[in-house]
Amino acid sequence: MPDSLHAGDLLARRYRLDELLTESAGGRFWRAQDQVLDRPVAVHVIASSDRRADSLLEAARRTAPHHDRRLLRVLDADRTDEVCYVVNEWGSGTSLDIMLAGTGPLPPRKAAWIVSEVADSLARAHDAGLDHGRMVPENVLIDRQGHVRVIGFSVDAALHGLAPGRQSADLVDTVAVLYAALTGKWAGVSYSQLPPAPMVHGQVLRPRRVRAGIPRPLDAICDQVVNGAAGHAQRSEHDLSTMAGVAAALAEFVGDPTGLAEEASPWSSPAPTQPVRGISPLPPSPVPTPPPWPEPTPEQPDATAVAIPPAPPSPDPSPDPSPDPTPEAESEPAPAPEPATEPEPVELPTQAGIPVFDDNDEVGWIPTRTESPAPPPPFEEKPVKPLFAPDPADGEPVRRPRPGTAAAQPAPYWPWESTGPGTDGGGHGAHHTGSNTGTGGWGVQDTADSDVVPGRSWFRLAMGIALGLLLLVAAVAAYHAGSDGPEDSETSTSTESSSPPAATPTPFPGVTGTDFDPQGDPPEEYPELVPLALDGDPATAWRTSTYNQNLGLADSLKTGVGLVLDLGATRAVRQVEIATSGGPTSVSVYIGTSAPTGVADLTPVGTADGDGTLTVTLDEAVSGRFVTIWLTSLPPVEDGYRGTITDVVVKG
């Protein structure tokens, strides 16, 4: 019986049982050491009398010859009088459910790559007539190198009492793993510990409605496979009813996978690094010897088949750490360490630039100060300035001239005359030496006796010049006004007519388009009719759905629908012509550098209302690649409201 096995026992005289990882439903999961090949292995043990023993051995024998680098292989299986056991390859890493619980949903491309590896592995198994049977996030392992490993191939389903031949369940569960990687919710048919996906009217909510930013191709794959093909048109070039088609669709979305393995490695991100080994990592049971468990039934599979072993303590850092062991060949656990002795103090090597943040951080070559530095000297106090000037003494003037200056005296105006005071013998203003001559230097100005306000003379001169220019301009204008006659008018007309006219906007070639219905569910508005609005044929048209109520009203179902035109490159748009039919239509035009997801935060460059061809002409060209034609009011028809666009032309 499994209860009679203990750590240190030999199973089949070959496998030494080292650590009991978990036990439930009458089975035990051990980490063991292969004594012959000296490698760690995972061992599942159930009682030989358990009704699952035959299906467990059959699953092991059926899948052992199948080789795939992404599968944790079956190495051995046997049945004795007391126990039935299966030995699997040992894997070390983080399961997808633990990764999602630690970091949340994955980036779309990373999630698609992980599931594409799982789908490709299961597609090869399906071609060989095999199936996994229970493809849940707990059975997807990301190892230390970032490679994807599949746990419990066929064996896990047998341990849960599930019959073989579950290829259709594999398909839905594999795409549900993609759904879980994108949203953190579980939408598969097998049981998983992840929270269930939200449902509306009996169908799983699409990933784009659970989490924003999920690409449309991945959203379409999840919706079509998880919710079934009923009511949904085939939107993929691949056959999503087979595992090979799902793998091809995901590989096409991922493109070149170079570098994704390193990015997906749990040791390259803050994801938990708790190792996950074996099948269905679930919380361990805290009871060392539980009472006998009832055997599970296929209708109620046990949800705690295998638990996650606790992470071993991290070893102390050393100057020369050894590389991480690979999942295929992990080393034997080291024996118990000897009691630690007091280490001798070692002086740290000299390293320039090591920061010391506080007094508790010490480095051997930076001793801690034993004395506090002296405080800095106090700042000198600034003299207090009075709020008002002191009153002058009796008999003294209120204001005094600055030291070294004299009282102001009248100064001559013209700059070539003397700039300083003084008179000649006749009482006339004296000239300095060399002033008003062509050979002498300027007279030296006595700054101590200067009373000229700086700039006043030049200001007066500038005002005089400006006044003279103003009078001259007025005289010229009056002369031309009086001489303007028929001949002048003819000359002016001929000059204006000879100037080149403004360039006429021309249509842009190669314009493509898509329907735009961000408020619809599904967000589609006759996408197959969009090319008919761009073919230049007024006899063909794109139309909206027929609505019971017009758009744009307070209680309307939608604020609008329309088209998004792709010009192929950023262009300067001057004019947009929209040919409509059916009656009065209102339209708004938006221009942007990227395809819009809605118009609530956008500002239209122009609007138009009416019947027939609606033209939106821009005063200045607006640069952009994507032109959105947004219908905000539809003409009435016999059974409601419906808009029709026969042709759209974008000019620039």
Alpha carbons 584 and 594: distance in angstroms, whole number: 30
Give bridge partners of residue 83 from the DSSP assignment. 47
Q: The domain at 512-651 falls in which architecture?
A: Sandwich (2.60)
Closest CA to 88 of 145, 178, 24, 21: 21
Alpha carbons 476 and 479: distance in angstroms, whole number: 5
Q: What is the DSSP letter of 21?
A: E
State pLDDT tens for residues 293-316.
444 444 444 433 333 333 443 344
* Spatial contact of 95 and 135, defined as CB atoms under 8 Å apart: no
Element (H, E) at 10: strand 10-11
DSSP states along 251-281? HHHH---TTHHHHH-GGGSSS------SSSE
**Domain range list for the chain:** 2-90, 94-282, 512-651
What is the percent of the chain where pLDDT is above 90? 48
Element (H, E) at 615: strand 613-633
DSSP states along 631-651? EEE--EETTEE--EEEEEEEE
Give bridge partners of residue 563 from the DSSP assignment. 515, 629
pLDDT, residue 491, reads 47
State pLDDT tens for residues 384-418.
777 777 777 776 776 666 665 554 555 554 455 44
CA distances from 528 to 351, 423, 540, 542, 587 (A): 69, 104, 12, 9, 21
What CATH number was assigned to the domain covering residues 2-90?
3.30.200.20
Kindly state the average pLDDT of the residues 61-83. Answer: 93
pLDDT, residue 501, reads 54
State pLDDT tens for residues 42-61.
999 999 999 999 999 999 99
State pLDDT tens for residues 413-441.
445 544 444 444 444 444 444 444 444 44
HSE of 472 in the Cβ direction (CA atoms, 13 Å)?
6
Alpha carbons 411 and 421: distance in angstroms, whole number: 7
Q: The domain at 94-282 falls in which architecture?
A: Orthogonal Bundle (1.10)
Closest CA to 13 of 40, 43, 34, 44: 34
CA angle (584 as vertex; 581, 586 as ends), nearest 5: 100
pLDDT, residue 108, reads 96
What's the token pair of residue 551?
């758009």
What's the token pair of residue 76?
């051995």
| Beta carbons within 10 angstroms of residue 341's beta carbon | 6
Q: What is the mean pLDDT of the chain?
A: 77
Q: Is the pLDDT of residue 644 over 80?
A: yes
CA distances from 26 to 280, 288, 292, 310, 500 (A): 16, 13, 7, 21, 94
Coil/strand/helix, residue 97: helix
Number of H helices, E strands in the chain: 11, 22
What's the token pair of residue 77?
């299986």
Helices 216-226, 108-127: axis angle to 10 degrees equals 40
What's the token pair of residue 475?
């005289």
What's the token pair of residue 431?
């000239």
